[in-house]
Amino acid sequence: MSGWAAKRFWKAADVAECEGGFTVALDGRFVRTPLKKPLVVPSTGFAKAIAAEWEAQEELVDPTTMPFTRAANAALDKVSAQRAEVCEMLAAYAGTDLLCYRATGPRALVERQAAGWDPHLKWAAQLFSAPLQVTAGIIPVEQPKESLARYLQEVQAFSDFELTGFHDLVAISGSLVLALAVANQRLSAGDAYDLSRIDELWQIEQWGEDEEAMELAERKRFEFLQAHQVMQMSKTSA
């Protein structure tokens, strides 16, 4: 069976232990990914979150309401098949990390960026032996090759499931350093997301809120927090 049936046909979604981890059974029939792979996740917490999504479906299955199922599918069908490319793509963010590009003014914004971002650049430089250069403006700055290599090693240490969540932490924030700070429990996901929006929040203070932009920001925050949950649930002890 496909994991993406158009209509609900099952009465109950249950978590089941299986070879390699945990899965979800719909009336005893194990869920599979869109590419027909067994949907096996590394922790009971992950499986329970997926089961809850299936249980919440009504007459028609709506994949947009099933972020944890989609994350598991992505890990098994996409990330596992393109692991090297995914790692390289994520590590490349270190070359253009949001935290390395600062405003030239006004002074209050420059100081806010420094106060918010400098401690985490320093932390990453020390922990990973991988310093990054900071510049003002948008002219690209070349980062040390040794640092970029170290960040690639850190990304490669994640499992396929962790990489799936980590991908969204990096892509939404625009910062490999902030994503690593969340992954290493230095920052909460909420605090990291706020730090990634220092420039946006500054603009809001100056010009006021835009309702559509605020809705988009809240949606991204929710997705960022979900990505962190995926990383947490990807640990076998979760």
Length of the chain, please?
238
Q: 205, 177 in Cβ contact below 8 A? A: no
Same domain, 87 and 197: yes
For residue 113, is pLDDT > 60? yes
Q: Which of 87-96, 114-123, 228-237 has the lowest mean pLDDT?
A: 228-237
Structure-token pair, residue 11: 């009465």
Q: What is the pLDDT of residue 237?
A: 67
pLDDT digits 0-9 by tens, 172-225? 999 999 999 999 999 999 999 999 999 999 999 999 888 899 999 999 999 999
In this structure, the answer to whether residues 228 and 184 fall within a common structural domain is yes
pLDDT of 137 reads 87
Is 97 in contact with 117 (CB distance < 8 Å)?
no
Average pLDDT of the chain to the nearest whole number: 95
Q: Identify whether residues 55 and 97 lie together within a single domain.
A: no
The CATH number that applies at residue 61 is 3.30.2180.10
Bridge partner residues of 26 (DSSP): 13, 29
pLDDT at 238: 66
* pLDDT at position 8: 85
Residue 2 lies in a domain: no
Using one digit for the tens of pLDDT, what is the confidence trace for 119-150? 999 999 999 999 999 999 888 999 999 999 99
pLDDT of residue 7: 84
Average pLDDT over residues 93-118: 97
Domain assignment of residue 150, yes or no: yes
Question: Is residue 236 within 8 Å of 42, Cβ to Cβ?
Answer: yes
In the chain, alpha helices (H): 44-56, 67-74, 83-91, 107-128, 145-156, 160-173, 176-183, 189-196, 198-207, 211-233
Residues 151, 38 share a domain? no
3-class SS of residue 26: strand
Listed residue (171, 195, 172, 181) closest to 92, CA to CA = 171
In a domain, 197, yes or no: yes
How many domains are there within the chain?
2
Domain that holds residue 39: 13-65
With a cut of 60, say whether residue 4 has pLDDT above it.
no
Contact between 47 and 14 under an 8 Å Cβ cutoff? The reply is no
In angstroms, the CA 228 to CA 43 distance is: 15
Q: How many angstroms separate the CA atoms of 35 and 130, rounded? A: 38
Same domain, 27 and 123: no
Residues 152 and 181 grouped into a single domain: yes
Question: Is residue 196 in a domain?
Answer: yes
Residue 217 lies in a domain: yes
pLDDT computed for residue 236 by the predictor? 81
Cα-only R_g, the chain: 20
Tell whether 55 and 167 lie within a shared domain.
no
146: Cβ contacts below 8 Å, ≥ 6 apart: 130
| 20 and 128 part of one domain | no
74 occurs within a structural domain: no
Q: How far apart are CA 183 and CA 187, in angstroms?
A: 8
CB distance 22 to 43 below 8 Å = yes
Residue 78 lies in a domain: no
User: What does the pLDDT read at residue 138?
Assistant: 83
Task: Tell me if residue 16 falls in helix, strand or coil.
Answer: strand
CATH number at residue 184: 1.10.3580.10
| pLDDT of 234 strictly over 70 | yes
Are 115 and 212 within one domain? yes
Whether 113 maps to a domain, the answer reads yes
Which pLDDT band holds residue 1 (cuts at 50, 70, 90)? very low
Give the model's pLDDT for residue 3: 47
Tell me the C-alpha distance between 163 and 23, whole Å: 19
Residue 173 sits in the same domain as residue 213: yes
